[in-house]
Amino acid sequence: MPTTRPLALQVICDEHRALAAMLRSLPLLLAELRRRQAQPDFAALRAMLFYLDEFPERLHHPKESSLLFPKLRARAPEIRSVLDRLDEDHLRGERAIRDLEHALLAFEIMGESRREAFEQLCERYVHGYLQHMQVEETQVLPLALQHLSAQDWAELDEAFAGNRDPLAGHAVDAPYQALVQTVLRALPAPLGFGPAL
């Protein structure tokens, strides 16, 4: 076990915290729009879903599945079934975000008749994602701290140091500036720049 908190662990937790805040905001935002009988800012919702696909799905999950989980499987066999389930979640993640994007497009094009289907799918997506992160933080990361060596953590730290998730506090790379601004304007304060719900 390392003597200081590994960078990889900090990056994972920071990204989880930022992601959880955004995920929790989505159903609240949709509920408030429904209460006011208002249409959402579809461009902002598309930007939020693109963010979910671009950062957690393509950057965060692959490193967990290809780097962290194999190391832990080798040293803590008792967690293998949990890691298998989390890997399955990661594999289903791309399909889940595509389904949600499709449901949003249907809502935008078909109108009110598709609002409820989008809201329900969004609620299930958020619930599943939050549960996934909770399992990682309560079952996987504590075991990783117990079982992984300093060399394991050095390798993980190097890999996760390259993560540049702007919602987790990193500077925004130029190609993502418009995306991040759109997402932050849509999210309620204090996470984003939108009005508090």
Determine the average pLDDT of the residues in 62-75: 95
Confidence of residue 1 (pLDDT cuts 50, 70, 90): low
- Is residue 197 over pLDDT 60? no
| pLDDT for the residue numbered 43 | 92
Confidence of residue 18 (pLDDT cuts 50, 70, 90): confident
Sign of the dihedral through C-alpha 134, 72, 55, 8: positive
Domain 7-186: CATH superfamily, name plus number = nmb1532 protein domain like (1.20.120.520)
| pLDDT for the residue numbered 131 | 97
Smallest CA-to-CA distance from 140 within 52, 78, 186 is with 78
Smallest CA-to-CA distance from 195 within 38, 51, 15, 13 is with 38
| pLDDT for the residue numbered 120 | 97
Where is pLDDT greater, at 2 or 174? 174
| pLDDT for the residue numbered 187 | 76
| pLDDT for the residue numbered 191 | 67
φ, ψ of residue 183 in degrees (nearest 5): -65, -45
- This model's pTM is above 0.75: yes
Highest mean pLDDT, choosing among 23-32, 118-127, 180-189: 118-127
| Gap between the Cα atoms of 166 and 11, Å rounded | 12
Determine the average pLDDT of the residues in 141-147: 96
| pLDDT for the residue numbered 83 | 98
Domain ranges of the chain: 7-186
Confidence of residue 152 (pLDDT cuts 50, 70, 90): very high
Mapped onto helix, strand or coil, the DSSP state of residue 90 is: helix
Q: What's the chain's average pLDDT?
A: 90
Whole-number percent of the chain with pLDDT over 90: 68
- Is residue 194 over pLDDT 70? no
Determine the average pLDDT of the residues in 65-89: 96
